[in-house]
Amino acid sequence: MTRRCPVRRFRRGLACAMAALGLLLSRADGASADTGSDALAETRRLDAGPRRWTSRRQQLNLSTKDSRGARRERELVILARKEGEDERTLTVFLSPPEVRGTAFLQISHADRETEQWIFLPALGRVRRITSRARDQSFVGTAFSYRDLELLTDAVELSEEQAPSRLLEDAGDAPGKDGRIRVERRSGERELGYDKLVVDLETPAYVVRELRFVGADGAGEKRLVLDDIRQIGAIPTPHRLVMNDAAKGAETTVVVTKVVFGDEMPDDLFTEQGLEDALDLIEN
C-alpha cells in the first residue's frame, strides 16, 4: 500500500485555507466599499482634495411661491469662507427695499452645534437663532433655518454624529442611473428631522438631492440641485429648488455668478459686523 506524504497533505490544506481566507476577505472588501459611510467619505475626500476651496462669493436670484400661488422675488449675495474645519457663511439681501440690508450669519462647526444670527434692519438689532427657532421660515422662503444648517452638515457630519445607511432603490430620483442614495439619522447631533436622505451622483460624488423627512414620513421637504457647472475643478449647482409639500411652498434659487478665491474682510463674518454687512460688500 502506498502511504500519503504528510507534508503534501499539510501544504494542500494550507493552500485551501489561504484560498478560503482570500475569498472571505474579498467579499468583506466588496461589502465595505458599498456602504453609505463609504459614499459620504468619498465625497468628503474629494471636497477636501481636488475640489477644495477656501472662499466663495455667489450672486443669487430667489423666487418663492406660497400656497396661494403668490410670488416674491429676492436678490442676494452669499459669501462663504472655510477656516480649518469650520465654515462661515454670510447672506446679505440686496433687494427689494423691504428686505435690503437683511444679513444672516451661519458658522458651522465640526465638533459642536452650528451658530446662527440674523440682522433685520426694520428692528435695528441682531438676533441669535436659538435651537427652538430653527424650524421657522428663513425670510419667508421654503427653507427653514435648520435646512440651511443641514445644507452644510448633510455630508460633513461623522458617522457618530449622524449614522448612515445605503438605500438600494434610487426611487423616483431623475436620472437615477449612477446615483447613490444614503439615509442619515440623528446620533450625537440632533438633525431635527426623522431622517435626512442624500442623493449623490457618481462617479463625481456630487450632491443632487436632499430630502428632509419628518416623523412617519410626514412633512417631507425636497431640495433638488441642478444645472451643475464646473468652476475650475469644482462642480457647482446653479439652480436649486426647495419644495415644502405640507405648506404648499416652493423656493427656486438661480445662481447668476460664482467666484472662488476672493479676498474677504474678517469683519464680514462676525456677529458685530452684521449691521454693516451691506456697506462692506458694496464698497
Helix (H, G, I), strand (E, B) or coil at 282: helix
Whether omega before 6 lies within 30 degrees of 0, making that bond cis, reads no
The answer to whether residue 114 is domain-embedded is yes
The answer to whether residue 12 is domain-embedded is no
Whole-number Å distance between alpha carbons of 58 and 92: 11
Give the single-character DSSP code of 138: S
Query: For the chain, what is the domain count?
Result: 1
In which residue are the cell numbers 497533505 written? 9
The answer to whether residue 22 is domain-embedded is no
Residue 194 CB burial class (10 angstroms; 0-12, 13-18, ≥19): middle
pTM, entire model: 0.83
Helix (H, G, I), strand (E, B) or coil at 194: coil
Contact between residue 64 and residue 140 where contact means Cβ atoms under 8 Å apart = yes
What CATH number has the domain bearing residue 196? Answer: 2.50.20.10
The answer to whether residue 158 is domain-embedded is yes
Return the higher-pLDDT residue of 137 and 265: 137
Whole-number Å distance between alpha carbons of 113 and 102: 23
Mean of pLDDT over the chain: 86
pLDDT of residue 85: 85
Helix (H, G, I), strand (E, B) or coil at 155: helix
Return the higher-pLDDT residue of 165 and 111: 165
The answer to whether residue 182 is domain-embedded is yes
- Residue 237: what are its φ and ψ, rounded to 5°? -70, 135
C-alpha cell at 217: 414620513
Return the higher-pLDDT residue of 171 and 129: 129
Other CB atoms within 10 Å distance of the CB of residue 47 = 17
The answer to whether residue 270 is domain-embedded is yes
Other CB atoms within 10 Å distance of the CB of residue 259 = 12
Print the domain residue range for 57: 36-282
How many residues would you count in the chain? 283
pLDDT digits (tens, 9 = 90+) for 110-163: 888 999 999 999 999 999 999 999 999 999 999 999 999 999 899 999 999 999
- Residue 82: what are its φ and ψ, rounded to 5°? -100, 135
Contact between residue 61 and residue 75 where contact means Cβ atoms under 8 Å apart = yes
